[in-house]
Amino acid sequence: MQLAFSLDAYRTRVADVQRRIKDRGLDAALISMPDSVFWLTGVDSVGYLWPQALIVPVDGAPIYVTRTTEEPGVDAASWLEERYFYDISREDPVEAIVGEIRRRGLGSGRLGIEEEAFTMLPSTHRRIGEGLPDAAFEDCSYIVPEARLVKSPAELAFQRQAARIADHAMARVIAAVRPGVSEVELAGIAAAALGEAGGEHAAIPPMVVSGERSALVHCMASRRTVAVGDVVCLELAGVVHRYHAVLMRTVSVGEPSPRVREVSELAREAHLAAMAKTAPGIEVWEPEEAARAVLEPAGLHGNRCHRIGYSLGVAYPPGWLEPMMMAKGDPHRFAPGMSYTVEPNLHLPAEGFGIKIGETVECTESGPRSMTSLGHDIFVV
């Protein structure tokens, strides 16, 4: 086995999740999201593209149901002893899942199911219900993600290592920005630098947007070539044992205009003000208000394009968000061991540019600590 953590660590995680299942009055939970399956078992695979389920009973060992194709990887990367591998050429995946639930005596139990998981297709959800007419179902989408919010020292160590990889790649791609280079070339340089530093594939590939496209915050790299006077926004993530550290910075090709300089300095100030409000005990919506206090007097709060941050840890494509969101209505408070992004990104499409500034931060007993070594000013090349 090639496990990232000790067997005791995995057993402790399973016991924690089982306590949460019991507190919800459930007999078992069906877990299909790859990040949660990995966190509980060590399974590291793209097998989540087909129906799968980690059946976690309130008592006893979990059982993993997946394709026969995944058997070598499960043997190599997990501690699981109870598995069922279905042959997709001869067996129906949903019937295999239903069959294992029945075999465990859970066919008439109260079962948790991840209703908000992209891996739980509506047709799969419906057919599981049809196959288990005597069972009662309840949403359990956040049972495992909530258990993952406060990281162990070992988890944070992987995330800090991922942040160093992200720093290396960001420095490399910033050095490559010049007139005539294309966005896709810069994205490729970023990907190569992440790999050469030991980074695994990220849940989202490097994002590069330039010129007027720099206001398109979540767009992927295009074939547009960089020109003098452009703003270039960069976002990438280092990954170690699936633990992500996200990093975002902005580059000006040539001396930035007074307006770009003004907005980037306000974004920096908002970023630092928000990060300072991520200390233990603070409600998670407060960083947004700290950034608003900086940006609103300048008329820029309306140019904020998404939440100011969110919890971050283990992730697989297509995304890397954990359930804590820095927005009003979220009930969480910051606690030591939590890790999250802070990113008061701005888009000004009417003015033809945007500003990205963000990074991964950890909450410690003494307050927030950034995982990056890079400065927060706009980079000028």
All structural domains of the chain with their residue ranges = 7-147, 153-380
Query: Measured between alpha carbons, how far is 139 from 201 in angstroms, rounded to an integer?
Result: 30
Type and span of the H or E element at 174: helix 153-176
CB atoms within 10 A of CB 95: 14
**pTM for this model (two decimals):** 0.96
Query: Measured between alpha carbons, how far is 251 from 119 in angstroms, rounded to an integer?
Result: 37
Q: Indicate the DSSP class of residue 91.
A: S
Q: What angle do CA 283, 306, 323 make, to 5 degrees?
A: 50
Partners of 358 in beta bridges: 248
318-321 long-range CB contacts below 8 Å, 24 or more apart?
A: 318/118, 318/203, 318/204, 319/203, 319/204, 320/202, 320/203, 320/204, 320/237, 320/244, 320/246
Decide: 114 and 53 in contact? Cβ < 8 Å: no
pLDDT for 1: 65
Type and span of the H or E element at 380: strand 379-380
pLDDT for 2: 84
pLDDT for 260: 98
> How are beta strands 243-252 and 379-380 bridged, if at all?
parallel
pLDDT for 306: 83
187-195 long-range CB contacts below 8 Å, 24 or more apart?
A: 187/220, 187/221, 190/234, 190/236, 193/168, 193/169, 194/165, 194/166, 194/168, 194/169, 194/236, 194/237, 194/238, 194/239
Six-digit token pair at 275? Answer: 């990060």
Phi-psi region of 308 (alpha: psi -120 to 50; beta: other; left: phi over 0): alpha
What CATH number should be reported for the domain whose range is 153-380? 3.90.230.10
| CA Rg value for the chain | 22
Query: Measured between alpha carbons, how far is 52 from 34 in angstroms, rounded to an integer?
Result: 9
> How are beta strands 83-86 and 63-67 bridged, if at all?
parallel
Residue with tokens 């695994």: 200
Blockwise average pLDDT, block size 10, the chain, 381 residues: 91 98 98 97 92 96 96 94 95 97 96 96 96 97 97 98 98 98 98 98 97 93 98 98 98 98 98 98 97 97 91 96 94 98 96 97 98 97 96
What CATH number should be reported for the domain whose range is 7-147? 3.40.350.10
Partners of 210 in beta bridges: 232
Query: Measured between alpha carbons, how far is 82 from 286 in angstroms, rounded to an integer?
Result: 45
pLDDT for 211: 97
